[in-house]
Amino acid sequence: MQSRYCIACGCEDLIAMPLMHLIVLDGECWSYVDTFACPECGRMEIYAKPEEIKKAIQNKKIDEEREAKLASLKKELDRLKSHHSELASLIADENQTVKAIREAKELMNSLENDIRSLESKISETSNGYNIHYW
C-alpha cells in the first residue's frame, strides 16, 4: 500500500477504517472506497479504486451511446408509423383508384414489416443497460 499521511497535520499513522460507499460521477455511479482517519486531528481521507472509477466512466459512456442510438431508432419508428397512417387514410379515401389503393396496401405491408423489425431492434437496444455501481 502506498504511504498516506494526513494533509492537515502531517501525521503518518493514519488508521484504516471499515469500507464505506461513496457516490461518484453525477450521483449515478457508486464505488467502494478505502477510508483512513487521522488519530491526531480527526481528518478523514477517502480513496476510491481508480480501476472502478475508470470502469464507471466507461459504462456511462456506453449507456450514453446506447441512449443516442435508441433516440434515433425511435425517431425512425415515428416516421414509419406516420407514413403508415397516411397510407391508411389514402386507402380509406373513396376517390382513390383501385391501382393506387393496391399499391398503398403493398407499401403498408412492407412498412408493417419494417415497423416490427425496428420495434424488436429498439427492445434489444433497451436491454442491457449498465448498472453504475458494483
Beta strands, E only, 2-128: 15-24, 29-37, 44-48
Query: Which residue in the block uniquely carries the three cell numbers 425512425?
Result: 76
Q: How far is 99 from 78, CA to CA, in rounded Å? A: 27
At its nearest, how many Å lie between Zn ion and the CB of residue 5?
A: 8
In the list 40, 52, 76, 103, the residue contacting Zn ion (rule: CB under 5 A) is 40
At its nearest, how many Å lie between Zn ion and the CB of residue 33?
A: 19
- 15 is a contact residue toward Zn ion (CB under 5 A): no
**42 to 61, contacts with Zn ion by CB under 5 A?**
43
Q: How far is 93 from 89, CA to CA, in rounded Å? A: 6
Site stretch for Zn ion (CB under 5 A), options 27-35, 36-44, 72-80, 89-97: 36-44
At its nearest, how many Å lie between Zn ion and the CB of residue 9?
A: 3
CA 112, 114, 117: angle at the middle one, nearest 5?
A: 110
